[in-house]
Amino acid sequence: MILHELIDYDVLRVIWWLLLGVLLIGFAMTDGFDMGVGALLPFVGRTDVERRVAINTVGPVWEGNQVWFILGGGAIFAAWPPLYAVSFSGFYLAMFLILAALIVRPVAFKYRSKRDGTAWRTTWDWALFAGGAVPALVFGVAVGNVLQGVPFELTPELFSLYPGGALAKLFGLLNPFALLCGAVSLSMLVTHGAAWLALKTEGVVAARARAIGSVTGLLTPAGFVLAGLWLSVGIEGYAFAGEVATDGPSNPLYNDVVRTASWMTAYAERPWIAIAPLLGLAGMGMAWLGMRAGREVSTLLWSKLGIFGAISTVGLTMFPFLLPSSRHPNSSLSVWDSSSSHLTLFTMLVATVIFMPLILLYTAWVYRVLWGKVTEADVADNSHSY
């Protein structure tokens, strides 16, 4: 028997769907609080020293946290090539906006303290704000559009076609439901950043972070519930019309996809997936209570649970679809028809089993070394601080 045939093709596809979810959740849990701190920076720090304290809570770890984003993009490229090609084509300007914000962020970290001028530092502070708020918002907008279906179709040669020009595509993404999802994403990561600042700082910076986090921590579950209600009554879902070969070729056009009344039919078919939104709401609610009570470690952990539940809700609700097509439902990409080959998925899995534990161990070691609060005295006394 050939080695890669030890694991069935359909099982490998599900494993890589799960791993993609793990990478996206890992990115939101780690780089999410970096983005949240950036979005909070102009509001929690009113003096240069206070802002430096906030920046130095994430300065040593943001680069490592962003590895999850790179791994997620790499996993989509290697494990789900049609998903990578179609999504990056349709969301080109939105992706460019995210990448521009993520490029500006490291530049702001490195250059902010190179000069003492107020205007200079304020400019880079707002760059850090954009580097945090813009990706957090746009990621949510993208999820909202995926849930509604993206207006593309595949030719018989599997080329993707989108109507309209680049600007029309960008503004087409800014519909009411997608903007609501973007607001939920932004408020969720701002709350996560506030929980991080409450853990890593003290005094007025921590107090302001808790005050803002108490507001966004209440808005997040409210928006999450509203989005769920909207999804259940106002947005059609997708389903396969007949049997699908789960180990068949990666060609979406081989399958027949139809629109359904709602995505919520998934909960009738698989009631156990309701655990995801319940965990999300529990995490969000407990994070809000922890913020109000002044708890630190537990608040951050509850916030992570809320993020896990929210992202898992989207993935489990849509399964097995990855990118549905509102223009031509049969072009929709799913777990069963848009993956790489059996051998590719197996080879990637072997590499993941070897290297993922090393990444997790290194990350744990870094956070262990950097454990503790960042104070104004630390910033003033350390010549290597931001």
Res 3: pLDDT: 63
Res 135: pLDDT: 94
Residue-wise over 259-282: b if at least 16 C-beta within 10 A, else e? Answer: eeebbbebbeeeeebeebbebbbb
Quote the CA–CA distance of 273 and 213 in Å, as a whole number. Answer: 28
DSSP3 helix / strand / coil % (the chain, rounded to 5): 75, 5, 20
Res 383: pLDDT: 64
Tally of residues, the chain? 386
Quote the CA–CA distance of 120 and 127 in Å, as a whole number. Answer: 11
**What is the mean pLDDT of the segment spanning 291-309?**
95
Strand partners, 334: 321
Q: Which of 211, 181, 206, 179 is nearest to 374 (CA)?
A: 206
Query: How many CB atoms neighbour CB 233 within 10 A?
Result: 10
Give Cβ neighbours of residue 263 (< 8 Å, ≥ 6 apart). Answer: 147, 231, 232, 235, 237, 238, 317, 318
**What is the mean pLDDT of the segment spanning 309-325?**
96
Backbone phi, then psi, for 60, in 5-degree steps?
Answer: -75, -15
Res 199: pLDDT: 94
Cβ pair 298, 348 in contact under 8 A: no
Q: Torsion over CA of 136, 142, 144 and 148, rounded to 10 degrees?
A: 180
Quote the CA–CA distance of 279 and 302 in Å, as a whole number. Answer: 10
CA distances to 28, 160, 207, 335 from 80, rounded to whole Å, are 20, 15, 44, 9
Cβ pair 335, 322 in contact under 8 A: yes
pTM (two decimals): 0.93
Residue 86 Cα to chain centre, angstroms: 19
Quote the CA–CA distance of 211 and 207 in Å, as a whole number. Answer: 6
338 in helix, strand or coil? coil
Quote the CA–CA distance of 345 and 359 in Å, as a whole number. Answer: 20
Higher local confidence (pLDDT), 114 or 229: 229
- What tokens appear for 217 in the block? 């921590």
Residue 306 Cα to chain centre, angstroms: 13
DSSP alpha helix (H) spans, 59-149 = 62-65, 67-79, 81-90, 92-111, 118-148
Q: What is the DSSP string of 227-241?
A: HHHHHHHH--EEEES
325 in helix, strand or coil? strand
pLDDT band at 114 (very low <50, low <70, confident <90, very high): confident
**What is the mean pLDDT of the segment spanning 251-274?**
91
pLDDT band at 386 (very low <50, low <70, confident <90, very high): confident
pLDDT at 1 over 60: no
pLDDT at 166 over 70: no
Residue-wise pLDDT tens digits, 172-214:
788 999 999 999 999 999 999 999 999 999 999 999 999 999 9
